[in-house]
Structure 1
Amino acid sequence: MSSYHDTLERFAAALADDTCEPAGLTAATRANIGVYRNNVRLNRIAALTDAFTHVVTLVGAEYFRALARAYVIATPATSANLHDDGAGLPAFIRRFAPAADLPYLGDVAEVDWLMQRAYFADDGTPVAGVALAALGAERFASASLRLAPSVGVARSAKWPIADIVAMHEGGPAASLDAGGQAVLVWRDTFTVRWRKIGGDEAQVVAALSDGSSIETALSLATGDPSSLLAQLFAHGLVHDIEEPENANH
């Protein structure tokens, strides 16, 4: 006899796979699972439509629904929270054959996903910039910064993703020949913010987010990174300064 857990696992699998039938399915209930499966997919598609607003604007609602349907069929949900759905959509778009003539679409989707993630990220308490200034040179170099959970960086090696997003928010037309761009995303109270940053700045933020020391992260910048640090503190995006356990105080 199947356990309750096994029954739920089989039922969940049937929602993602049309060929899978959960235990206990009968001729009378076979059609019902199809209705339930379709409702689950429609809910996921609706959530993705709300999350990937710039992608929807680029391709249109009907095209996006077809794309999202292909995604939800190919990608089982890993969370009961619909706000978590879509993490894999940018990568899916990059290999989605019908979108081959829109090669920048996956990178724009990356920005959308970071905005979705930022909106629902946990809150935190910012650290004042004076705390960083209080560190000596040696402690400054070895310390690391814990950035706000809402902070994210999208980087495109080839496409002007910041210009594309700005265009769909009322800015000038984007030129696809402008080259690759990077976007910093964060949440300010209840509003998601973003701005274009340089490629080396994006590397610095990514390194800080990964836990690299301040010295290691800043070494990735070709210019003066002090303005970037100042902006991170000014926007309240640094939530802790962590020093190595063997640091001398």
Structure 2
Amino acid sequence: MLSYADTLAEFAAGLVDDAFEPGCLTAASRGNLALYRNNVRLNRVDALENAFPTVAALVGRDWFRAMARAYVIAMPAASANLHDDGAALAGFLDGFAPAADLPYLADVARFDWARHRAWYAPDSAPLDRARLAALDEGGFGRCTLGFDPALALVVSSRWPIADIAAMHEGGASADPDAGGQAVLVWREGWRAVELHEAGWLSALLAGSPVGDALSGAEGEPELLLAWLFGHGLIRNLEENE
């Protein structure tokens, strides 16, 4: 006889695999398995529609939900938390044949996912400004920065994802041929950043010391750094020897 845990695991497997019939089913319950499967998939599709509003607006609700159903059939949920369910959607769109005429869609999905994850990111304590004030220029250059857990950088080397996002929020129509753009996302909002800024920002987010990340940076990176500090998006400083 299966244990309770094994019974649950077998039943869960039956919810995601149409060809698998759990042995734990009774004759009375076997006919209802398709209903359970459909309810699970509908809940996942609903969650995806909520998590990817820009993508849904671009393609229309019917197209989005049909795509999302294909996704949930192809990609079993990796977590019991529906808020985690769209992590692989952008990659899925990269290879989704019906989206071939919308090659920017996957990068827009990456933007939507960053905004979704920002909303559910954990809180963190603000930076003690006295620690920043105590550093000289050399000390600051040796620091690695700790960022708000909600902060994310989304880079599209080819598509104007900031213009597309702004269009979705009531801005001017976006030109898909305008070229690549990068976007900083945090819980309260987002802003476009230049692609050359995305290079050193990526290095800082990956843990490079400030001096190393800014070495050879174009323009005036201190302006964007000051903005990050001013908006409370830098939460910690660690000075390296």
Match of 1:122 in 2: 122
- Superposed, which structure 2 residues align to 1:57-68 within 5 Å? 57-68=57-68
Code of the residue aligned with 2:222 in structure 1: it is S
1:27 to partner: Cα distance: 3.5
1:236 aligns with 2:235: no
Match of 2:52 in 1: 52
Match of 1:215 in 2: 211
1:86 aligns with 2:86: yes
TM-score (structure 2 length as normaliser): 0.94
TM-score (structure 1 length as normaliser): 0.91
Tell me the percent identity. Answer: 56
Code of the residue aligned with 2:52 in structure 1: it is F
1:224 to partner: Cα distance: 1.9
1:32 to partner: Cα distance: 1.5
1:220 to partner: Cα distance: 6.0
Give the 3 Å change call, closer, same or farther, for CA 163–129 of structure 1 in structure 2. Answer: farther
Question: Per the alignment, in what secondary structure is the counterpart of residue 223 of structure 1?
Answer: coil
Measured against aligned partners, the alpha-carbon deviations of 1:191-238 in whole angstroms (never above 9, x if no partner) come to x30111011222222222222211222226222210111011111101
CA contact (8 A) 1:200 1:220 kept: no
Say how many residue pairs are matched: 241
Is 130-139 or 225-234 further displaced after alignment? 130-139
Measured against aligned partners, the alpha-carbon deviations of 1:2-24 in whole angstroms (never above 9, x if no partner) come to 33332222222211111122232
**Structure 1 residue runs without a partner (length 5+):** none
Match of 1:172 in 2: 172
Is 148-157 or 75-84 further displaced after alignment? 75-84
Equivalents in 2 of 1:129, 1:200: separation in Å? Answer: 28
Is 171-180 or 18-27 further displaced after alignment? 18-27
Question: Per the alignment, in what secondary structure is the counterpart of residue 110 of structure 1?
Answer: helix
Equivalents in 1 of 2:129, 2:224: separation in Å? Answer: 12
Give the 3 Å change call, closer, same or farther, for CA 202–129 of structure 1 in structure 2. Answer: farther
Match of 1:204 in 2: 200
- Superposed, which structure 2 residues align to 1:99-118 within 5 Å? 99-118=99-118
Equivalents in 1 of 2:120, 2:162: separation in Å? Answer: 22
**Structure 2 residue runs without a partner (length 5+):** none
Equivalents in 2 of 1:145, 1:155: separation in Å? Answer: 20
- Superposed, which structure 2 residues align to 1:154-165 within 5 Å? 154-165=154-165
CA contact (8 A) 2:184 2:190 kept: yes
CA contact (8 A) 2:162 2:181 kept: yes
1:136 to partner: Cα distance: 2.6
